[in-house]
Chains A and B, each alone.
Chain A
C-alpha cells in the first residue's frame, strides 16, 4: 500500500479536525477526496504530504511508519508534492519557480533546463518562462504550480482543489494535466474537490469525508456492495449484506472486484419500461416505484429493488415516459453513475 492511516487523529486545541480509524491508498491510482468545507480534506492532504504531524495514530508510507524527525521528512517530501488550493509562487520568474525543487535536489543545470522546458510545455506555459511570477492570473498560477510539482516527477501528487477559483478553460487544462501525469507517468494522485463530476472523471476511487472522518454513514444511494466480474467488461454489483440482492450489471473495466462502498448518482441512473428491461442486453434489474416527488424542477423517484434506490430525472423526461407509483420499472446503472467511495467496508 502507498499510504495506510490507522487511528489517525489531529486536534487543534480541543477541536478534532481529523479522526480516521482506517484508510489506505494504493499506488498509481487516482483518489478524490470529497466533502463539504471543514470536512478535513486539506488537513488530510497536509498529513499525506508530511507537512503536518498527527496528534495521535499511525501514518504508513510504503508499509513503513513515519518518524517525524526532520532528516527523514525531507527525504519523504522529495517523493511527495502538495499543490496548494491557492498556490503561492516565489518572487522571480516562472522559470526560477519551476527550477526551485530541482535546485534543492542538486540537479545539474543542463538537466534542469531540459526538465523545466518540458514541464512548462506540458502545462502550456512555455511562453511565460521569463515572466515575473507575480504578474500571472489565478489559472496561470495554478498551472505553474503544477509544473513546479510535476517537474520533480513525484511518486505522489497531492492537489488541494486543483480547479477551485479557475475559469472553465483552465479547469479543463488542469484536469488533462492530472490525467496525463497518472496515465503516462504512473504518478499516484490524491486530490480534493467539491465536484462529483471531477471525481467521476479522474478518480479510480473516491473518499467521502465528513467532520474529519471517512463517512460510512447510510447516505442516500450509498451502499456496501460486492463487485464481481461475471463476463468480460461487465461487473455485477450485489449488496454485501445480501449477495442475492443485485443492483444490476455495469459495463466497466474501471470498477475493481471485491467489497466496496459505492455511491450511485441519482441523476445518472436510467429508468425504462420493464419490457424494455427484459429485452435489454445490459441485464438491468427491475424494481417497483414507491414514491414520486418534485424538487428543484426535477422529479425524484424512490424505487424498491430490495433496497430503496433514489432516481432523479428532468420533468420533460418524466413527461415522455412517466412511471407511476406501484409500477414495475427497469433500472439501468451506467458506469458514470457509480462512484466508489471506499474499498473499506466496515
Chain B
C-alpha cells in the first residue's frame, strides 16, 4: 500500500492537480499566518519571562508547560463557543473561515514558542548581557544582543511551531469545517479521504505534506546557515 501511495503522491505532484495545490495553498497560508501571529506574541513573552525575575515566575513556567499539552479539541471547543453565531464574536462571522483556524492555531502554539524561547534565552551566557551593558547598550540594544545570540534556539522554536500547526487536524476540522477550496487543509483532506476509505490517497496526501514540511525546514536550515555568518 505504501508503494501505491508513494506512486499516487508522485503522480499528484507531477500532474499539477489543481485541487491538491489548492489544499496545499490553504495549509501553507493558514500555517504561515498562525505561526507569524504566535511569534509576534510568543517571542517577546518568552524574552520577558526569561529575562526578568518576578514573583510567580515558576508558576508561570508551570502554566506554560501545562498549556503545551492542551488538546486541539479543547481549543476548538473554546474558540467555537466564542466565534459561533451565539458567541461574543459571533457577529464577525469567523466560523468556518481560515481566520477561525488561525485563531485556534495561534492559541495552540503560543505556549510552544514561548517556552522554547525561554529555554533558548535562558541558555545564553550572562556575560553577553553584562558585556552589552558595559559597552553602553540600553535595554533594547542589550535585548537585541541576546536575541542574536539565541537566534538558533528562536528559529528552532518557530520551526517547531510551524510543524505543529501544519500537521494539526482538530482545530482545522472544528473551526474550518473542511470546506473544499476554502478551509480544506492537507490534514483535513487526509481525514476525509480516510473516512471515504481512500487509504491510498490519504497516505499520498500525507507524503505530500511531509515533502512540503521537509522543503520548508530546508529553507529554515539555509536561513540559519546564513545568519550564522552575519554580523553583530
Chain A positions near chain B (C-beta within 8 angstroms):
46, 49, 51, 70, 74, 77-78, 80-82, 84, 86-88, 90-93, 95-97, 99-101, 104-105, 148-149, 152
Interface of B, helix, strand, loop or mixed by DSSP: helix
In the complex, what distance in Å separates the CA atom of A89 from the CA atom of B228?
Answer: 14
List the 3 closest A-B pairs by CB distance, nearest first: A101-B135, A96-B231, A96-B232
Q: Is the CB of B128 within 8 A of A88?
A: yes
* Residue of B149, B228, B232 ringed by the most chain A CB atoms within 10 A: B232
Contact B231 A93 (CB under 8 A): yes
Contact B232–A148 (Cβ < 8 Å): no
Residues of B within 8 A of A104 (CB): 135-138, 141
Contact call A84/B130, Cβ cutoff below 8 A: yes
A-B contact pairs, 8 of them (CB 8 A): A77-B136, A86-B127, A87-B131, A88-B128, A100-B232, A101-B135, A104-B137, A152-B136
Contact B127 A92 (CB under 8 A): no
In the complex, what residue of chain A is closest to B128 when comparing beta carbons? A88
Within 69-107 of B, Cβ neighbours of A (below 8 Å) are at: none
Task: List residues of chain A with CB within 8 A of the CB of B139.
Answer: 70
Return B131 CB to nearest CB of chain A, in Å. Answer: 6
- Residues of chain B lying within 8 A (CB to CB) of residue A82: 130, 134
Q: Are A91 and B149 within 8 A (Cβ)?
A: yes
The listed residue with most A CB atoms (<10 A of its CB), out of B134, B137, B138, B232, is B134
A101-B136, A104-B136, A148-B135 provided; 17 other pairs, C-beta below 8 A?
A: A70-B138, A74-B138, A87-B131, A88-B125, A88-B128, A90-B131, A90-B149, A91-B148, A91-B149, A91-B232, A92-B230, A96-B231, A100-B137, A104-B135, A104-B138, A104-B141, A105-B136
The interface bits of chain B over 105-140 (1 if a CB of A lies within 8 angstroms of the residue's CB, else 0) are 000000000000000000001011011111111110
Q: Which residues of A sit under 8 angstroms from B149, Cβ to Cβ?
A: 90-91
**Distance, CA A152 to CA B230, complexed state (A):** 23
- Contact surface of B with A, Cβ cutoff 8 Å: 125, 127-128, 130-139, 141, 145, 148-149, 228, 230-232
CB contact between B136 and one of A78, A86, A97 (< 8 Å): that residue: A78
Given A88-B125, A88-B128, A104-B141, A81 and B134 contact (CB-CB distance below 8 Å): yes
A46 CA / B130 CA spacing, docked (Å): 9
Q: Decide: A84 near B127, CB < 8 A? Known: A90-B232, A91-B232.
A: yes
Q: Which residue of A lies closest to B227 (CB)?
A: A91
Bound: A150/B130 CA distance, A: 17
- Which residues of A are found within 8 Å of B232, using beta-carbon distances? 90-92, 96-97, 99-100
A331 to B132, CA, bound (A): 51
Chain A residues whose C-beta falls within 8 Å of the C-beta of B138 in the assembled complex: 70, 74, 104
Q: How many Å from the CB of B180 to the closest CB on chain A? A: 48
Partner of A88, one of B127, B230, B231: B127
Chain B residues contacting A92 (CB-CB under 8 Å) are: 230-232
